[in-house]
Amino acid sequence: MKGICTLILAALLVLQPAAANVVWAREVRLEVGDEDGSRMKAVAAAAEAAGAQVQGGPDAAVSAPGQAAAASADTPGPDAGDAVMAAAPAAAVEVQAPSALLMEASTGQVIYEKDADQKRSPASITKIMTLILIFDALESGKIKMTDEVVTSAYAKSMGGSQVFLEEGEKQTVETLIKCIIIASGNDASVTMAEYIGGTEQEFVRMMNERAAGLGMTNTHFVDCCGLTDSPDHVTTARDIAIMSRELINRYPQIHNYSTIWMENITHVTKQGTKEFGLSNTNKLLKMATNFTVTGLKTGSTSLAKYCLSATAEKDGVRLIAVVMAAPDFKARFADAQTMLNYGYANCRLYEDKEMLPLPQMAVTGGVADQVPLYYEGSFSYLSLSGEDLDQVEKNLVLEESLPAPVTKGQAAGVITYTLGGKKLGEVRVLAAADVEEAGYMDYLKKLAGAWLGTAGWLPQASD
């Protein structure tokens, strides 16, 4: 059996590119690093720093120069330390807004930030979290897109940006999503908050709970739409990027709505039927750019001034540009363009879309002789210094065997990524099943099976 496994592994190695290696070892060492928490960071094209990210289970491990991070498939938003950042002259990016941040969506790496942890009023940027909870409810089956939702008198009373829903008016969940993301309707936001949470207050509690789960440590919501002038309703550019990343990564279908420029909805009320036009508040969608704008949300009040969370895509790289408290609406779009242009001029993304195939892992002293393996997550690396990403090398290091008992999720090895001798990061390899320790009867059955030529010939005991 051992000889057969060796031949299989040898065959796998022959089929792999020269840059990929498999090594059997008795010990695997995982590296972790420290978070750089300085306020003002930008990464110039000549900077030698770069970041890596593992996307996978809650314990997904990643290593990068001076930094380690963890991410969750269930909660893709970055923890503190998700982004690897490097200092460069502040003049590398110049924005008018007092707070701003540029993040790569796949890795969560922060490319540029300016006073990104200053708490400020977010205005309608708040609705990004409202949309996250709406899509959470859709994913869980609590609500459906076709559900008809009744507008309450309280929801109708919302001022500010609105789509003029009437008390008792019914609209589908999908229509209300359009009203929120396209026209920034406060009345539509409250209508959905009441439908999901029962009351807006309960929905806001859910918003704060979700924010805490994403690591948005400087955020507190008071309402679901951002209309409030309460000094307690605050967030930061960093936290906005975190929740924006959660929305577009977990629910990429949001772009089906955030890219709509204009669309009509139909009001059916006691007064009759009439059409109402939704016009997207994100004017960046119609501006000339060398990248594709995919969203996401604007916000403005006299307190918050002009805010924006802009998402874009080019050559497989997705960026999030956050602007808070810009002096006017033109400045917020100009600042977003400045950051996005900078990002696309300097960023290249490596994603391992064909990870090395994993062999079965030998188990000693178990009821099974082998256990299947799996990768804890996928791997991506954001280059900011013009490296040739075609030269990334992969090295798979596995234990020789695992002694029983084996627990599902138990570490069995690691795949590391290097470029020019520099380690970019790694992904752990884990056991995919439990294997119990073999007892006397198990050994006896194996011995009898080997003697008879098949281990499955003997009858199994019944309950």
> Where in the sequence numbering do the catalytic residues fall?
124, 127, 184
Distances (CA, A) of 334 to 101, 112, 281: 14, 16, 15
CA distance 413 to 430: 7
- Residue matched to tokens 């005991």: 461
